[in-house]
Structure formats: structure tokens, C-alpha cells
Structure 1
């Protein structure tokens, strides 16, 4: 098995160590391997391939880190064919929330979410993906 070196903030490393201990992992490497497998498998759901999808992505960040907001604006314009709607809101005393409604393919939504996750100083990134071709209009179900 290969050994890799990864840089991360001390606080994150402490959380990983605590998680490993609380959940019976043999160590941080096992936690990182499982997290990596889960991340890589997120968008490999064959049931979503070749379907029209809607994605909802929410991002939170400290409003004083303007680089995150600038990156969100850039991504919105870079993926304007994918972004159906975008909403920005202030949350609490020091935070902003950016919400994106996406319409497109699994590959395009996956790429967008990956770019959001790679944005430095984003505090949280949450998303959901739903096939829009499976909605049953009112009154047509049996």
C-alpha cells in the first residue's frame, strides 16, 4: 500500500483522530481511506446516469472572506447553462449562504459540486440531486 502525505489544518486532524477513536477505527488512515472511497463514489449512481437532474447546492462562508463570494460569482458565470437559479443570503452575524439550483447531467452537476468543494475558505458545502424526469404530475398516478 502506498503512503501519501496530506496537509490539513490541526483542527481537522484532531477531529479525524477523535472520530477514529469514537467509532472504532484503527487510526486516521482508515478514516481517510473510507472518506476517499465515499467521496469518489458519490456520483457513481447508475440510476442517475443519462437522466435530467436537478441539483441543489448550498455553501456557507464567512462574509469577510470575499474570495469565496468572488469564486461563487465566477462559477455561476462559468456554468451559466447549468445554473437555473442562484440565491445569496446573510446568515447570522458573520456568515453568508449561497444557494444554487442546477439543471443538467450527472457529470455536469458533479463537476460543479467538485469546484465548489475545492473553494478555499468555504465552511460547508451540501447538495442533493433529484431526477426531474421522474416527477409524477398531480392526478396522473394510478
Structure 2
């Protein structure tokens, strides 16, 4: 087993301690190992293949971080084919919340999400991927309607 040192802010450490206490862990190390295992499992599942999927990417970012809004916009434009919709909320004088609804291959969605949430100034990023299945063409639904533009 390896021993590592990490730097963590007080609020996040308090959250780890609450999680650890609530679950009954004997130490922070045990709690962190389980958190990392769970995150690694989610990562493996989400990036296994490029199964057609729909997803939400939710993240909070500090809008005053230098060039962050521009970088986020450029990333979204570079992956416009994934975008279904985007909601932008001004949380307070410092933070913005965005929720992006995405559609595409699971691996492709994961890569885009990683591009967004790893930007300096982005916090609390979370991706929820829902596989649609291999045969899904985006128009499998029980009701009939015309898709022609008029």
C-alpha cells in the first residue's frame, strides 16, 4: 500500500469527515479509498464504449476566473454535435451554474465532460450518463409524428 499526501481545503475535509462518520469508517483513509474506488468504477462504466447515450453535465464555475467563460464556450462549440440544451444560472456575484443536456456516444460525452470540469475555476462538476442501447436511433418512441421541417 502506498502512502500519499494531499492538500485539501477545510470545507472539503469537513465533508469527508461527515461522510466517514455517517458511514462508520474507522479512518479518513478508509473513507477516501472507498470514494476513489466508487469514482473509478463510475469512470470505467462511463468510458467502456461509445454506446448511444443521453447525459446531463452539471457544474459550478467562478465566472471571474481568467478566460474561463471563453474556454467553456469554445469547448461547447467544438462539441456542438453533442449539445441538446444548456441552462445557465447566475448563482451569486461569483458563481454560475450550468446544466448541459448531451446526446452521443458515452465515451465521447465523457471526454467532453472531462474537458469542461477539469478547467481551472470549475467546481462541483458531475456527469450523469444514461445509456440508450445500441439500436437506439434517437427516434424510437411510441407515438407517430412527422419530423419534416415545414
TM-score range with shorter-chain normalisation? 0.7 to 0.9
Once the two structures are superposed, the pairs formed by residues 19-98 of structure 1 within 5 Å of their partners are 19-45=19-45, 49-65=49-65, 67-91=67-91, 94-98=94-98
Structure 1 residue 50 displacement after superposition? 4.3
Aligned partner of 1:138 in structure 2 is 142
Aligned partner of 2:8 in structure 1 is 8
Residues 82-115 of structure 1: CA deviation (Å, up to 9, x unaligned): 3344342323565322222222211111122223
Bigger mean CA deviation after superposition, 94-103 or 29-38: 94-103
Task: Label 1:40 to 1:81 Cα distance change in 2 as closer, same or farther (>3 A).
Answer: same
Extract unaligned runs of 5+ from structure 1: none
TM-score by length of 1: 0.75
TM-score by length of 2: 0.72
Aligned partner of 2:108 in structure 1 is 108
Query: What secondary structure does 1:75 align onto?
Result: helix
User: What is the RMSD computed on CA atoms of the aligned residues?
Assistant: 2.9
Bigger mean CA deviation after superposition, 6-15 or 60-69: 60-69
Find the aligned partners of 2:108 and 2:123 in 1 and give their Cα distance.
23
Query: What secondary structure does 1:101 align onto?
Result: strand
Structure 1 residue 126 displacement after superposition? 3.0
Task: Label 1:100 to 1:33 Cα distance change in 2 as closer, same or farther (>3 A).
Answer: same
Find the aligned partners of 1:74 and 1:39 in 2 and give their Cα distance.
27
Structure 1 residue 67 displacement after superposition? 4.5
Extract unaligned runs of 5+ from structure 2: 145-150
